Structure 1
Amino acid sequence: MNNEYRGVVFFDLDGTLLNENSVVSPAVGQAIKALRKNGYLPVINTGRSPLEIVAAREATGIDTFVSLNGCYIEHRLQSVYQGKIETEIIQRVVALATKLGDQVAFYTTDQIKATAHSERLASAYNLIHTPIPAVAPDFYLHHDILMLLLLTADHDQDYHQQLPELTYYRNSPFSIDTVRRGNSKMHGIKTLMNNLNLNGLPTYAFGDGPNDIPMLSYVDHAVVMANGIPEAKAQAEFITQSNREDGIVAGLRHYELI
C-alpha cells in the first residue's frame, strides 16, 4: 500500500467543488490545499473533460483527476487510463441522433467538437460556463473518442433501447453524458486506486448529481451537497452545506480532514 497518503478524497465539480458561477471559491481552494498538507490525496472526479477543469486545478493545486466519467485518468501529468468508444458504435449514435433531430459532441483528451450547432448545444455549455464547441461532423472518424455528449431534451429511451452498449448520465435538461458501458466514476476510482497502489486507504467522496451515485456508493465515506438530488442524498453518510455555501469546507471539517 502507498504510504505517501493518509487517505484519498474525490470531488465532483459542477454543483460540488464549483460554486454557482462554476468557479472554485477562495475558501474551498484554501481547504483543498490544507487537505493535501494534512497528507490526503485530493482527486477531481468529474464528467468534464481535461480541457474544462484547468481553472479548477489551478485554484486547488490538484494534479490527479478522473475525467469524462471515468474514461480518462491522469496523475501528475501521466495518463493512467483511457476508455475509448469504438468508431462503429459512434457511427450508430450519430445516425440515431440525426434521425431524432439531436446533436452529438465528441470528446478526446484535449478537444471537443460537435456534429452541428443548435440552441440545445449552446444552452448545455452556457449552463456550465464553458466554450461552445466548433462543428466537425466527421471528427470521430479520425480521433480516439472517450465520451459523447448527446444534445437531446427527451429522447433518453431511444438511446437506451437502441444502443445498450453505452451508459448514460443525464447531466442537464439539454444533454446526456455518454460513455462505453463499464466506465463510471466508480470504475475510475477503482482503476486509480489499483494503479497507484492506494488500496487499503480510507476513501471519501463529495457529489451532488446522478453520475456521482456510483462513486458515492463505492467509497467509505459519502458526502452529498445540500443542493444534491434525492437519489444522491440516499447514498450519503453526511449531507453538507450547498456549493453556494462552501459545503466542501464544512464536509472536510466534519471528518476532521482539515
Structure 2
Amino acid sequence: MRSLIIVVALLLTACASEPKVTPPPRLATAESAMKAAQRAWQGERYADAAASWQVAFEAYRSIDHWPGQGEARLGLAQAFSRQGETAAARNVLLGMPEQALFPAPLRTRAAYQLALLAVSAPPEADARLAQARALCAAPCAVSAQLDNLEARLNLQRDPALAAQRVAAVLVLGEVAPAAERAHALRLQAELLLNDGDATTARISLLQAITIDKQLAESMFLADDFALLVRVQQALGDAAGQREAEARLASLCAAFRAPACRNL
C-alpha cells in the first residue's frame, strides 16, 4: 500500500511539473485578436472589432488555417456592415461560399451574409439565399435565419409565403435563437400591419421588443421602434405614436442604426 501511495504521488508530481503548452506565436496572435474582436463587437465598438478581425484574418491566413480565417472574414464583414460599409463587407465575403477549403457551415454563413447585404437587389439576394440553403446540411443550424430572410424578401411580393416562413421560425420556440424569434415576431407584425390588423400587429411587436430589450441589441430595437411608430399611427394612437418616436429618437442619439436614417 505504501508503495502504491508513493507511485501515485510521483505521478501527480510529474503531471504538475509538466510545462504549460503555449500556442505558436502566430496562432496566439490570431486567437487573441479574435477574443478582442468579440469583446469590441459586444460593446458595439464596430471599428475596433473590424481592426481586430483583420489582424486575426491575416494571422490565420499566414498559417494556412482555413476555419480561423473564415470565422475572421465573417466577423469582419459583419463589422463593416454595422458601420454602413456594405461594399467593403461584400468584398470580404466574395468567393467564400464557393471555396471548398472553408468548412461548409462557414460557407453557408457567408452566402447568408451576402444575401442579407443584397436585400435591396432581390434577384441577387434570392440567388445567395438559395446557395446558403444548398450548402447547409440537414438539419440546418441556421434554418431560422434563412427562413426569416426569405420572409423579409417576400413581405411585399408574396405575403403568404412570408407568413409561412415566419410561422416556421416561431414554431421552433426556444430552439430558435432569441434574436431570430424577435425578428420573426417583428416580421409577423409587419405582415399584420400590411394586412390592416394593426391591433394584433402591436401585440406581436411588443413581444419582439421584450426579447430585443433582453438582448440589448441597439440595431434590432431601432427596427422595433421604427415599426412601432407606424403601428401606433395606424391605430390612431397619437400619444402612443409620440412615445414610440421619443424612444426611437433617444436610441438613435446614442447609436446610428439603419432605422435612424429618416430622423
Query: Which TM-score tier does this pair reach, normalised by the shorter chain?
Result: under 0.3
Bigger helix fraction? 2
TM (norm. structure 2) is 0.27
TM (norm. structure 1) is 0.28
Which has the higher Rg, Structure 1 or Structure 2? 2
